[in-house]
Amino acid sequence: MPLSEHEQRMLEQMERALYAEDPKFATALEGSGLRTYTRRRVYQAVAGFLVGIGLLMAGVMIPDQIWISLVGFVVMLGCAVLAVTGWRKAPKPGDRQAAQGAAGGPAGRQPRQKRSMMNRIEDRWQRRRDEQGH
């Protein structure tokens, strides 16, 4: 459900006031901050994956220390999962809706986008309340 013109104007006024009052905090709340965070998380996961490869190789080369290889494999697996999930969740460079969806809830959501179970439950609850006239 898109915002009305009056709501958009009020939101823009609040954004301008926030920038005027505390520009550092306002820039931290922008969508690019989320994009930077997820990008940094993916890079850390890739670095961890490389450390896992090193541990795996070290465990193979050191006799009677197979547990090091197992730890390396687990580190590699965990970092691979973190990298893939972080990469999928990262907003695209020009995508303003991802930042609005994270900050404003379902208002910025596209109609056929995947929704979480909690969002569906909340929607059903709201529909029931609306049907009952509350």
Query: Does the reported pTM lie above 0.85?
Result: no
- Distance from C-alpha of 37 to C-alpha of 86, rounded to nearest angstrom: 9
Dihedral of alpha carbons 105, 28, 21, 97, sign: negative
Cβ atoms of residues 99 and 30 within 8 Å:
yes
Please report which confidence band the pLDDT of residue 126 belongs to, taking 50, 70 and 90 as the band edges.
confident
* Predicted local confidence at residue 31, as pLDDT: 56
- Distance from C-alpha of 6 to C-alpha of 9, rounded to nearest angstrom: 5
pLDDT digits (tens, 9 = 90+) for 4-62: 788 778 888 888 887 788 777 767 666 555 667 777 888 889 999 999 999 999 999 99
